[in-house]
Structure 1
C-alpha cells in the first residue's frame, strides 16, 4: 500500500511557497524603511534585493542537479534551515552587510523550495501538471498580498519591521514539521525511466534553450516590477504598496482559475496573451497617475499572472525528459535575470533622480520628491521593452508548436474500415 499522500504534500508545498512569497511581500513593504534606518542608497537597496535573487538561482540550479540523487525531502529540510536562519538574521540585522547576508540566506531557502516543490507537484499530478503548477504558484502572489497587507496594518499601529519579518517564522515551522513527517515519491523523470543522458540532451534542445532565454524576460517583467513598485511609484501615489497588493490579488484569482484557461488556449497561447497584456499594463503604470494607476495595476496583474507557472508547466508538459533539472534551470534563469536587472536598474534610478534634480543648487525635499516621481516611471518605460520582445518570441513559439502538432498528426496513419 502506498504511503504517499499527495494532498498533504501539496499543502506543505504551498506553505513553503508562502514563506517565499511573504519574504517578497514584506521586504517590498519595508524597503524604504530599511533605507531610512540604515542610511542606504537606492543602489545599495538594489544589491540587498538582488541577494535574494542570487541565492535563489544558486540553490535551484544545484538542487536540479542533485534532487534525483538525494531526494526531494532532504532538499526541503535544507530549505527550512535556510529560511529560519535568514529570518532570524534579518530581525537582528545591524546594517548593510548583515541585511545582505540574511537576504542571501532567504534567497537560498526560496530557491531550494522551488528546486524540490516544482518536480514534486509535477510528480504527484502527472496528468495535470500545468494547471496544478498554477494552483501551487498562486501562493506566491497570495503570500505577497498577505505580506503587503500585514505591512500596512502593522505600520498603521507602529509595529516595527523586525516584528513584521519575524511573523514568517510561523509558516516556516509549519512546513518544516509537515515535510519531516511525510513520505515522498521519486521524481517523474526517474519514475518514467528516462536516463540522465536523456535529461541532459533534452536540456540542450533548441526548444528548451528558447524557453530558458524567454524566462529571463518573463521573470524580470513580473518580479522586478513587483519587488520595486513601492520605490518606483512611491512619489507618484500615496498608496504605492497597494498597487502591489492589487496586482498580486489579481494573480491569485487568475492562477486559481488556470485550469480551463490553459485547456482552452494551450500553455503557449496563454504566454502570448500574457505578454501582450503585461506590455499594456506596464505602459499604463508608467504613464497614469492618481487613482487611475490602480486600473493600470489591474491590467498588469492580469498580464503577469500566468508567466512563471506556465513557463515551468510548458517545460514539464512538452520537454518532460529534461526532468527536475529542466524545471529548476528555468527557475534559476528567471531569478538570475532579476538579480542582475535589479542592480542595474537601482543604479539607473539613482542616476535619473540626479538628472532630474535642479543643477547648481542644493536640492530641497520638494525637488527630490519631484525628481523621484519622474525617475520611477522612466525605469518602468525602459522595462516595457522586455514584454514587447516577448510578444514577438511567443508568436514564433505558437507557430512552431502549431507546425509540430500538424506534423505529428500527419505522421499518425489513418486506417479506414473496409
Structure 2
C-alpha cells in the first residue's frame, strides 16, 4: 500500500530544483573567473554556458517520453547520480573540455529534475496546478540568489570557485536521501485514464504548438539575460552581479504570491502582463546607466517572474491530455532555444567588441593587455558599448510576446464563451 506524502514530496522537489538553480547562480557568478583561470574568451564561455542548456532539453524530452513508463522516482535517482558526477567533475576541472563535460552532466541532471518534478507537482495538486508550479519554481530564482550570494561571500573571503561549486553537494545529498525514502504516485495522465494516443495527439494541437513557439521566446528572455547580465553589464555598473541577485529576488517574491495574481488574471493574463514588463525592463537595462540600472532590473524581474511556471501551468491546465510529455517538451524547447541563442550571442558579442575597437584590431591582442594600459581601457570601453547592444537585440522577443499573448487572452475568452454557450444549450 502506497503512502503518498504530498508535502514531503513537494519539499524534496524544491530541494532538487534548488540544486538546479544553484548551478546557474554559481556558474553565472564565476564566469569571469573561469575566463581568467583557463584563459577562455567570450565565445568559449558562451559555449560552456550553453552546454548546460543542451543537457537540460535532452534530459527533459527523453524524460517526458519515459517518465510514465519507469516512474518519477527512478528518474529522480538518475538526476541525483548526474548531479553528483557533474559537481565532482567541475570541482576538479582542468580546462575547457572538463568544464564543457561537467556542465553538460549538470545540465542533464537539471533537466531530469524538471522532467520528473513538473508532472509530480501537477499530479500532487490537480486543483491548483499553476499556483503550485509557481511555488515550486520560486526555488529556481531563489537558488540563483543564494548562489550569487555564495559567490560574493566566497570571493570576499578569497575562497576559490571550487569551494563555491562544492556547496551544491549539501542539498544534492539531502534530496537524494528524501526521494529514496518516499512513495510516488503515478503521473496525472496515467491516473486520469488518458491514453498514449491522446498524449501524442495533444502535442500536435494548434494551441500546444502556439505555446511551444512562445516558450522559445520566454525562456530566452528570462534565462539568457539572467546568465549573461553580469558579463554584459559589468562595465556599466560595478555591481553587475547584484543586478542578477535583485532580478531573481523579485522573482522569488512574485512567485511566492502567485495565487491571487493567477486567480485574478488567469494564466494567459499573467503571461501578457509578464511580456509587457519584461520588454520595458529589457529596454531600460539596455539604455540606463549608473544606479538607475537597478530600477531597470526591478522592472525586468517583475516581467520574467511568472514566465516559466505559468507557461507550464497553462499547458497543464488547458491541455491535460499532453501529460508529462507536453510539460517536458515545452521546458526542453525553452532550454534548447536558450542554448542556441547563447552560443550565437557569445560570438556576436565578441564581434561587437571588435567593432568598437580601432580598425584592424584583434580581440586576442586587447584581451592580453595588462590592466591600466590604454589597450585595456579601450577594451573595457568596447565591452561597455557591446553589452547593451546585445540586450537591445534580445528586446525584440518580449515585444513579439506582447502581441502573441494578447491574441491568447482574446482566444481563451472566446473559447470560454463558446463553452458556456454550449453548456447552456445542453
TM-score range, shorter chain: over 0.9
- Runs of at least 4 residues of structure 1 off by over 6 A? none
Q: Does 1:367 align with 2:382?
A: no
Residues 381-417 of structure 1, C-alpha deviation per residue, up to 9 Å, x if partnerless?
A: 00000000011111111111111001001001269xx
Residue matched to 1:238:
238
TM-score, normalisation: structure 1: 0.98
Residue of structure 1 in register with 2:212 after alignment: 212
Q: Residues 145-204 of structure 1, C-alpha deviation per residue, up to 9 Å, x if partnerless?
A: 000011001100100000000110000000000000000000000000000000000011
Alignment of 1:4-403 (within 5 A): 4-359=4-359, 363=366, 364-403=375-414
State the Cα distance separating 1:80 from its structure 2 match: 0.3
1:360 shift after superposition: 5.2
1:185 partner SS:
coil
CA RMSD of aligned residues (A): 1.0
Question: Take 1:412 and 1:398, find their aligned partners in 2: how far apart are those partners?
Answer: 21
Change (3 A) 1:30 1:340: same
C-alpha distance in 1 between matches for 2:133 and 2:378? 46
TM-score with structure 2 setting the length? 0.96
Q: In 2, distance between residues paired with 1:72 and 1:106? A: 19
DSSP 3-state at the match of 2:14? helix
- How far apart are the structure 1 equivalents of 2:351 and 2:230? 18
Q: Is the 8 A contact 2:57 2:111 kept in 1?
A: yes
Q: 2-side partners of 1:154 and 1:291: how far apart?
A: 25
Separation of aligned partners in 2, 1:358 and 1:288? 25
Q: Deviations over 1:115-135 (max 9, x none)?
A: 000000000001110000000
1:358, distance to aligned residue in structure 2 (A): 1.9
In 2, Cα distance between equivalents of 1:71 and 1:79? 13
Q: Distance in 2 between matches of 1:111 and 1:262?
A: 26
The answer to whether the Cα contact below 8 Å between 2:218 and 2:308 also exists between their aligned partners in 1 is yes
- Give unmatched runs, 5+ long, in structure 2: 367-374
Q: Quote the offset at 1:359 in angstroms.
A: 2.4
Can you give the 5+ residue segments of structure 1 that lack an aligned partner in the other structure? none
CA contact (8 A) 2:354 2:382 kept: yes
Question: How far did residue 213 of structure 1 move?
Answer: 0.6
- Quote the Cα distance in structure 2 between the aligned partners of 1:360 and 1:379: 22
Distance 1:413 1:260 in 2: 29
Q: 1 CA distance for matches of 2:70 and 2:418?
A: 39
Secondary structure at 1:81 match in 2: helix
